[in-house]
């Protein structure tokens, strides 16, 4: 029997915990449920410092709940860490995780960092300490979409001239999922263009790929 991967979740908000709490077990919308139902993982701790969330979750985690990343890492040696905190906290948290010897894999919500400079520093640390960071673009790991990717590469669908994607809310939180998916399907765009519509009330963008 393979040893389970000791895991922690930092950030117990909607994506960390609450999205699927009122749904049956067939719906997996949070990191907490995804880890708990997978026999390969062992959730050893969770971290959050929001009192309103702590009141709601503390009875379910008892001795597993910590108020800071530092206090958690002082006691536990996880292999996998999920970072599901507000985006402005990612850089500071990732730096701590990358120098933690036990940590091998990090799953981070997007955006990874607030600036390109921060992101480059994280990439440098990742290479230095030989860690693996996965951004939580789940569609890129969907078996059905993996099949579509293979069919695109084999030109099963013929040639593409145009594709349209609609998304809700903002580009960083939602739209970036589809940007990532298009890059997965077609490679790095050779160009992009912003399209200003309706007197600045709506901004669309166009990704232009090779061929």
Across the 211 residues of the chain, what is the mean pLDDT of every consecutive 10-residue run? 90 95 91 96 97 93 95 98 96 98 96 94 96 92 93 89 84 87 93 72 78 73
pLDDT value, residue 113: 94
DSSP of 51-66: HHHHHHHHHHHGGGEE
pLDDT value, residue 201: 53
pLDDT value, residue 6: 98
Region for residue 82 given its phi and psi (left: phi exceeds 0; alpha: psi -120 to 50; beta: otherwise): beta
**23 token code pair:** 């749904």
Which candidate, 44, 38, 48, 41, places its Cα nearest to that of 10? 48
Which candidate, 52, 197, 175, 183, places its Cα nearest to that of 110? 175
- 173-191 pLDDT tens trace: 788 899 999 999 999 999 9
pLDDT value, residue 164: 86
pTM for this prediction: 0.87
């Amino acid at each position: 029997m393979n040893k389970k991967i000791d895991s922690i979740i930092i950030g117990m908000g909607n994506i960390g915990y609450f999205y699927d709490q009122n749904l049956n077990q067939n719906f997996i919308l949070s990191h907490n449920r995804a880890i708990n139902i997978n026999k390969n993982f062992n959730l050893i701790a969770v971290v959050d410092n929001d009192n309103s969330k702590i009141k709601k979750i503390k009875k379910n985690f008892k001795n597993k709940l910590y108020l800071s990343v530092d206090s958690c890492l002082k006691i536990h040696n996880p292999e996998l860490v999920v970072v599901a905190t507000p985006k402005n906290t990612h850089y500071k948290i990732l730096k701590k995780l990358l120098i933690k010897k036990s940590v091998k894999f990090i799953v981070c919500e997007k955006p990874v960092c607030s600036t390109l400079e921060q992101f480059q520093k994280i990439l440098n640390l990742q290479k230095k300490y030989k860690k693996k960071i996965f951004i939580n673009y789940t569609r890129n790991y969907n078996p059905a979409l993996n099949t579509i990717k293979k069919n695109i590469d084999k030109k099963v669908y013929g040639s593409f001239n145009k594709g349209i994607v609609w998304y809700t809310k903002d580009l960083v939180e939602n739209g970036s999922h589809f940007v990532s998916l298009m890059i997965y399907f077609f490679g790095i765009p050779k160009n992009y263009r912003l399209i200003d519509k309706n007197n600045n009330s709506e901004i669309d963008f166009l990704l232009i790929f090779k061929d």
